[in-house]
Amino acid sequence: MKTAEIKRRYLAHFEANGHAVVPSAPLPAISDPNLLFVNAGMVQFVPYFLGQQTPPYPRAVSVQKCIRTPDIDEVGKTSRHGTFFQMNGNFSFGDYFKAGAIPLAWDLVTRSVAEGGFGLDPERVWATVYLDDDEAAEIWRSVGMPAERIVRRGKKDNFWSMGIPGPAGPCSELYYDRGPDYGREGGPEVDEDRYLEFWNLVFMQYEIADVTSKEDFRIVGELPKKNIDTGMGLERMASILQGVDNLYEIDEVRPILARAAELTGKRYGAHSGHVAAQSHPDDVRLRVIADHVRTALMLIGDGVTPSNEGRGYVLRRIMRRAIRAVRLLGWQERALPELLPVARDCMAPSYPELATEFDRIAQYAYAEEDAFLATLRAGTTILDTAIAETKSAGKPALSGDKAFQLHDTYGFPIDLTLEIAAEQGLAVDADGFRRLMADQRARAKADARARKTGHTDLSAYRSVLDAGGPVEFTGYTELNRESRVRAVLSGGDQVGAAVEGDTVELVLDTTPFYAEGGGQQPDQGLITVGGGQVEVFDVQQPVPGLIVHRARVVRGEVRAGENGYAEIDVTRRRAISRSHTATHLVHQTMRNFLGESATQAGSLNAPGRLRFDFNTPTGVAPSVAPRGAAGQRGAP
């Protein structure tokens, strides 16, 4: 069964059972400060699980594009790890719980292919449950799972969270017995290569905090409602239904691997067994290439571009690992022009935009490979010099400092440093290199912790929103209006009043003040309430539907419940509007000179000035700037 057909059947099954079909969110986790990328199907639904927003449907189903990189070094070595994957998920927001989720899963898994199911042999399916989850175990028995194939496991295996503060709960996982060719008998606790996990049913009922590991966290309390969050690995199910050994051999990945093998003259699988742990190093590298090229395609397709920080750095690292693996297998020419079109053809049936956007995607990918090949050439020259100096000094090993400099400054892979040094009869101070890398990671983690905000406490804002409903924005049709002060907040709490000198947040029933968003600066102005007056210096929307005015009381007293008069700074608004218009003109001019691949990456529209951020896969020629400026002066 093709991967696209598995996806179609999954969505159809749950849609027929009252679930709303929700499109995949983009891979960059824009709305969650804790994540670079969406790493699970439930990420876009977190506000519903936490009770921060009211879900527009009681049940949902999606196939979510995901990226996970913590296990990147395991890619190719196991049958389970991939950086990009697709997660089939069905969700209940306080609607059904265990008694609904388990029968729905069992029905789809064991129903015949002719009747729209996946047709797995029920005698080869196992389930795990959390240690004390008697309810889930009993439901599995009621649908036909014998007690001897229901295994109880602890927090490490059967308590799920995103690894960050937020929703969590015990879970129940489904495994498929692939037979004795894949390992020892005895169930998932004995061998997870033979018994392949393919579906995780999470009974989402707790909110957790102080997360330090998968097993070390604090349960804050019960969620507002008991929810269901399930995740079926699409690639894992495809490997089962297509009868292949691992996710690298399914129909959406194998053609990339085959093309890489053809380029490098390798014969995939010639020296490996069924179990991934028995794989020849060449096969591991071919899998890395296939996985990483597909991942790069999907990331660039969703707007990520190579850079030295954040999401762009992850993409750059993935691409360079793929390019490096190809070279280690003997191919010394440009590889991505040979491999990326194959990945496109594999994935476009499910994601047609990859075909229509391929020229843009290819420009970024090919430019990155060219830059990395130049890096390799420069790094090799510096390494040759360092090797000569080490030999002339009579030392047996290249210093860890030099290896780290090559890696950190030039992006030169440590494994390449080790290989070239060994060819010259030298060792490398790998311990010194690892120590410097560990120091760098520790600094990066400390910085990340300092910037990490987690799921901010928005309870005061939600309380105001729940009590009075969404704030009506009228600023497109008027610049001032009368309105009641619904709430006055200070320090995250509602207060009855504020006096001269206080800095507070005001919520009105209706407002002409524009809240910051889309790169456009917020309005400023005055709100007069009785004998008091506040000067608004910022306007935000901390939760959808609630416009909050951040202001200083400049005269008298302001009380909640009183009527007021709101008026924006018209001169500032018009200046921002001119900057906003100019941003669109700049964007169009850039596309005129640089082509459709010049995409907007951000902007700032402020009075009298603007900033326009854009991505382009190649350097901007010096002649473009004056020509672009001339184009702007000639614009209507």
Last residue of a domain, one of 451, 483, 509: 451
According to DSSP, the residues that pair with 207 across neighbouring strands are: 167, 221
* Same domain flag for 282 and 230: no
* Same domain flag for 510 and 380: no
Question: Do the domain assignments include residue 381?
Answer: yes
Separation of alpha carbons 33 and 166, rounded Å: 12
Which tens digits make up the pLDDT trace of 298-317? Answer: 999 999 999 877 889 889 98
Q: Is 503 left (phi over 0), alpha (psi -120 to 50) or beta?
A: beta
Residue closest to 131 by CA, chosen among 101, 105, 170, 187: 170
Span 558-573, average pLDDT:
93
Question: Do the domain assignments include residue 40?
Answer: yes
* Same domain flag for 174 and 290: no
Give percent above pLDDT 90 in the chain.
56
Question: Do the domain assignments include residue 31?
Answer: yes
Question: Do the domain assignments include residue 592?
Answer: yes
pLDDT-based confidence at residue 455 (cuts at 50, 70, 90): very low
Domain total of the chain: 4
* Same domain flag for 96 and 215: yes
* Same domain flag for 336 and 187: no
As given in the structure block, the two tokens for residue 236 are 């894992």
* Same domain flag for 362 and 426: yes
* Same domain flag for 103 and 178: yes
Residues 6+ apart with CB under 8 A from 310: 36
Q: What single letter denotes the amino acid at residue 190?
A: V
Question: Do the domain assignments include residue 254?
Answer: no
Apex 152 CA angle, 148 and 155, nearest 5? 165
Q: Is the pLDDT of residue 495 over 80?
A: yes
Residue closest to 414 by CA, chosen among 397, 396, 434: 434
Q: Is the pLDDT of residue 139 over 90?
A: yes
* Same domain flag for 21 and 168: yes
Separation of alpha carbons 216 and 211, rounded Å: 6
Q: What single letter denotes the amino acid at residue 336?
A: L
Residue 274 DSSP code: S
Asked if residues 426 and 387 have their Cβ atoms less than 8 Å apart, the reply is yes
Q: Quick one: three-class SS letters along 561-595?
A: CCEEEEEECHHHHHHHHHHHHHHHHHHHHHHHHHC
Domain membership of residue 598 as a residue range: 574-633
Q: Is the pLDDT of residue 592 over 70?
A: no
Q: Is the pLDDT of residue 456 over 50?
A: no
* Same domain flag for 623 and 515: no
Which tens digits make up the pLDDT trace of 515-549? Answer: 988 777 899 999 999 889 999 999 999 888 899 99
For the entire predicted model, the pTM comes to: 0.68
10 Å Cβ neighbour count for 449?
A: 8
Question: Do the domain assignments include residue 117?
Answer: yes
Which tens digits make up the pLDDT trace of 218-246? Answer: 888 888 889 999 999 999 999 999 999 88
pLDDT-based confidence at residue 636 (cuts at 50, 70, 90): very low
Which tens digits make up the pLDDT trace of 270-289? Answer: 777 666 667 788 999 999 99
Last residue of a domain, one of 219, 241, 263: 241
Q: Is the pLDDT of residue 619 over 80?
A: no
* Same domain flag for 421 and 504: no
Question: Do the domain assignments include residue 148?
Answer: yes
Which tens digits make up the pLDDT trace of 394-452? Answer: 999 999 999 998 888 777 778 778 878 887 899 999 899 989 888 887 776 555 444 33
Query: What pLDDT score does 573 carry?
Result: 87
Last residue of a domain, one of 568, 585, 620: 568
Separation of alpha carbons 273 and 351, rounded Å: 33
Span 131-157, average pLDDT:
94
- The CA-based diameter of the chain, rounded to the nearest angstrom, is 86
* CATH number, residue 523: 2.40.30.130
* Same domain flag for 91 and 225: yes
Question: Do the domain assignments include residue 427?
Answer: yes
* Same domain flag for 369 and 483: no
Length of the chain: 636
Calculate the average pLDDT of the chain: 87
* CATH number, residue 66: 3.30.930.10
